[in-house]
Structure 1
Amino acid sequence: MKKWAGITLTAALTVGVLAGCSNGSDSGGSKDTSGNGASGNNSSGKSTPGKTTTIDFWQLDGTGTQDFYVTLIKQFEKDHPDIKVKMANIPEDGFFEKLNAAFAAGKGPDLWGGWYSPDEFERGYIAPLDEFIARDQYDMDKYFQPATALRLKGADGHYYGLPRDMSNAVIYYNKDLFDKYGVPYPTSDWTLDDFHEAAKKLTHPDDGIYGTDLFASDFNAITGNPIIWNMGGDVASDDGKKVKGYVDSPEMIKLFQYAQTLSKEGVNAPSSVMQTAGDQGPFSGGKIGMSLGFLWGYNDIKKAGFKAGAVGFPKDAGSANNFAWTEEVSWYMNNKSEKKDAAWAFMKYLSSPEVGKQAIDTNFMWGPPMPSVWEEKGLEQDELLKVFLEQAKLTTKAPSYDRNRTWNEVGSMFTQAYTDVVNPVDGKTYKDPAEVLPKVADEMQAKIDELLSQQ
């Protein structure tokens, strides 16, 4: 699964429409009418002796994961003979639209995989899990924190999902290119100046080699890594409702200027090179010296035809901040499902250490969301994975697009500003970030305020 941007259910759907009932077979319990959606001590979804409860489960992973899911379901059903899981695989492109339509028709699944900004939980169609957590004395601190709380806790303090995985970001680098051009490998205390110097030395356009692709897009450069946080800046307020004062901050202007400099010098890979396919793009093809790397792309890097290394992100000289960028894909339960206990049992299983270990053993399907599993499986012995684990233990924030769903309406404005400043279409007319960013911050803030007033 590639999670390059926060995708949320469309704002046009109301809570009443979204709160559709699952249409799976054999309910196994009375409909929840408590209004808060958690089953806890009520009868919603409780199994009836001698009767099988069938739950509908939707997931959006690629076809390469289907055998793994089938195996997991068989194992779960063997241990829970009174529960059957009916799985539907829906391609990631269009997944949320189909989920919307199913809820609107009253046929939403009992549980599904995905990702949301925390304000999505206010709509009421995703079930809060606190009564289940309390009933089972379920330890949420076994997952990577604070990442899990940042992604899965609503403003009301309730948890609304369980994590499937953990993925974070690092800088991958091509050791073969560093060796070829006599460039020292980066170290954990490197600065943005160090990154700049290495990128220049690694750039050889005549050979089709470029120092980096980190500044190829606003996601790679800013919203998909912690560089702006380590500079003391941010893209938005913690709740995502304010961008004025953040998008146009001195720190953001400085980062845009830095990115523009690398673009003008030609050390950042041009768009023609970035067309290369693959989760890691041209980096996997050996054309890039340093690249933004995600755990989701780990298998691609392991298959690359060169020696790869990984390191944390460079910091501004003198910066005392040390943030990491960490993400999760999670499991969610339909608030109006009549089979909450069965759905909860399956959710717990999918988020368990047992499944995490199997994910590692099955071609590293995904990174487990529990640090204990990483350590038990000895992943810190892997040269690349140990850096991901180190990063996952650092302080983090929610990416800007995961703070508030209004980002889906204003993110394109930020992208256009970045393009105008760093990667202009004609490759010549570079705009001044000190002029562009205050204007786009005003436009983004006006749109966010408008959207918030409609909620």
Structure 2
Amino acid sequence: MALAFPRPLAVMTVAALLLAGCSGGKKTADPNAPVTITWWTGQAEDAEKLLEALAAEYHTAHPNVTIKVSAGAPTTDELLTKLSAAFVSGTHPDISYAYGSWATQLAQSGRTQDLSAEVADPKLGWQEFPPAARATATVDGKVIGLPAVVDNLGIIYNKKLFDQAKLAYPTDDWTWDDFRAAAKKLTNHATNVYGTAYPVSGSENTTWMLWPLLWQHGGAILSKDGKTPQFNSDAGVQALTFLRDMAVTDKSMYLDQTDEKFGPLFLDGRVGMLITGPWQMYDIKQRKLEYGVAFLPGFNGDHQTISGPDLWTLYDHADPNRAKAAKDFVIWLTSKDTDARNSLVNGNLPLRDSEKTTPAYQKFTKDFPGAQKFVENLANAMQPRPTVPGYVELSQYVGDAVSQVLQGAAEPKAALDAAAKKSTEALAQ
């Protein structure tokens, strides 16, 4: 199973993290000392087995390092809450999986390690990771981890439904008007087929799908100093109005209240196009569905997308041996050879540019048609999501606004203005 998952956002207050206090110690590490580190993978059972095998492989090569592997929480979404409690009790792991949108909250805990010195070493190859992933891992100049998953949003479409509707397949040059027109023609309410779908649970899944349209219209999420919401600008209103027109006027958009239905509906041939990422390819492969991949539609030639990098975040226990062992393991885990051998087989995009030269990458692009398109689409991910205090709350407010508008319960301008007012308060805290 792929390590990449859709991105619903767990919620935790900054105050809970700040109870954790500060990290300690500056003692010199002994690289040969016996040491045990804990690793919370945040993954489902089958993915965790893969990671357990990696930990065992590393232990064989480094007998003094024992790695205790567990999911850390029943689901990835619950991991942030578990980390919050563990920070307070001092039982936090040495390494954990983390959604990139949690980066600021984790950094504020005072428990994260700083890998700034390691990434400055040319041997680590920091520049090989996509810019959005590097930006997400860096909070206030401190590098709190290394990328675990890189991805982006594009279009995956069902070729059979397009053929039945006698429609040309989406191209990388499509406009949003092209997308809307195709969705209308694909929709057949008599057979419960929709042109596209959108999650309206109010989670980060709801929010982050709006940001590319905002950016393409020339808008911004926040002011340059990260303190003032700007998503309720004319650009934001135009972006949300477009989505509202598809959902309310055209009725060509299936609205998923749970974040969990639109993927299976696509697999069942009930949705013609998904705005989604490479993680979807793993499930599609199991169903042997005929599909294609294209960049996100554009506005005025701008096909900007969004990347949702996740992290292997590292934490301090005031023990230099544990700190070094955790760093060394994550550097090995995200190295060209290790990642190529293990992540690519599950449909994840390569973490590093250098992996494109490996036999594993050639097999990856063959096994997952369209994977190369998502790799190319990383160049369209020009802006990261903000890593500022208050983004978690902002995401909730925007997600709720989008959900209300797409269900016809609010107007775009009023909903975004209300979300901006609440977000201003969250950012001020």
Deviation at 1:82, TM superposition (A): 1.5
Match of residue 419 from structure 1 = 403
> Which residues in structure 2 correspond to 1:182-331 (within 5 Å)?
182-214=166-198, 223-224=208-209, 226-237=212-223, 240-243=226-229, 246-271=230-255, 277=260, 280-316=263-299, 318-319=300-301, 321-331=302-312
Match of residue 422 from structure 2 = 443
Match of residue 13 from structure 1 = 16
* CA distance, structure 1, for counterparts of residue 262 and residue 126 of structure 2: 31
Does residue 149 of structure 1 match 2:134? yes
Match of residue 333 from structure 1 = 314
Contact 1:274 1:281 survives alignment (8 Å): no
Could you tell me which of 46, 63, 83 is aligned with 1:99?
A: 83
Moved more, 196-205 or 252-261: 252-261
Q: Deviations over 1:385-426 (max 9, x none)?
A: 011011112342122xx52241222333323322332213xx
Classify 1:368/1:238 alpha carbon distance in 2 versus 1 (closer, same or farther; 3 Å). Answer: farther
* CA distance, structure 2, for counterparts of residue 217 and residue 112 of structure 1: 26
Could you tell me which of 20, 43, 50 is aligned with 1:68?
A: 50
Equivalent pairs: percent with the same residue? 22
Structure having the higher helix fraction is: 2
Deviation at 1:162, TM superposition (A): 0.9
Larger radius of gyration: 1
* Equivalent position SS for 2:152: strand
Does residue 4 of structure 1 match 2:7? yes
Count of paired positions:
414
* Equivalent position SS for 2:143: coil
* CA distance, structure 2, for counterparts of residue 215 and residue 278 of structure 1: 9
Could you tell me which of 21, 33, 36 is aligned with 2:25?
A: 33
Classify 1:389/1:349 alpha carbon distance in 2 versus 1 (closer, same or farther; 3 Å). Answer: same
Q: Which amino acid is 2:411 matched to?
A: D
Q: Deviations over 1:249-295 (max 9, x none)?
A: 11111122212211223443344x76695672411221011111222
Classify 1:395/1:431 alpha carbon distance in 2 versus 1 (closer, same or farther; 3 Å). Answer: closer
Contact 1:164 1:368 survives alignment (8 Å): no
* TM-score, normalisation: structure 1: 0.82
Classify 1:405/1:162 alpha carbon distance in 2 versus 1 (closer, same or farther; 3 Å). Answer: same
* CA distance, structure 2, for counterparts of residue 120 and residue 67 of structure 1: 26
Classify 1:53/1:299 alpha carbon distance in 2 versus 1 (closer, same or farther; 3 Å). Answer: same
Match of residue 353 from structure 1 = 336
Contact 1:275 1:281 survives alignment (8 Å): no
> Which residues in structure 2 correspond to 1:344-383 (within 5 Å)?
344-360=327-343, 362-364=345-347, 366-376=348-358, 377-378=361-362, 379-380=364-365, 382-383=368-369
Classify 1:302/1:279 alpha carbon distance in 2 versus 1 (closer, same or farther; 3 Å). Answer: farther
Match of residue 25 from structure 1 = none
Specify every segment of 5 or more residues in structure 2 that has no aligned partner in the other structure, as ranges. Answer: none
Classify 1:275/1:283 alpha carbon distance in 2 versus 1 (closer, same or farther; 3 Å). Answer: farther
* Equivalent position SS for 1:413: helix
Contact 2:112 2:313 survives alignment (8 Å): yes
Q: Which amino acid is 2:317 matched to?
A: K
Contact 1:168 1:388 survives alignment (8 Å): yes
Classify 1:278/1:76 alpha carbon distance in 2 versus 1 (closer, same or farther; 3 Å). Answer: farther
Report the aligned-residue RMSD: 2.7
Classify 1:435/1:409 alpha carbon distance in 2 versus 1 (closer, same or farther; 3 Å). Answer: closer
Contact 1:110 1:337 survives alignment (8 Å): no
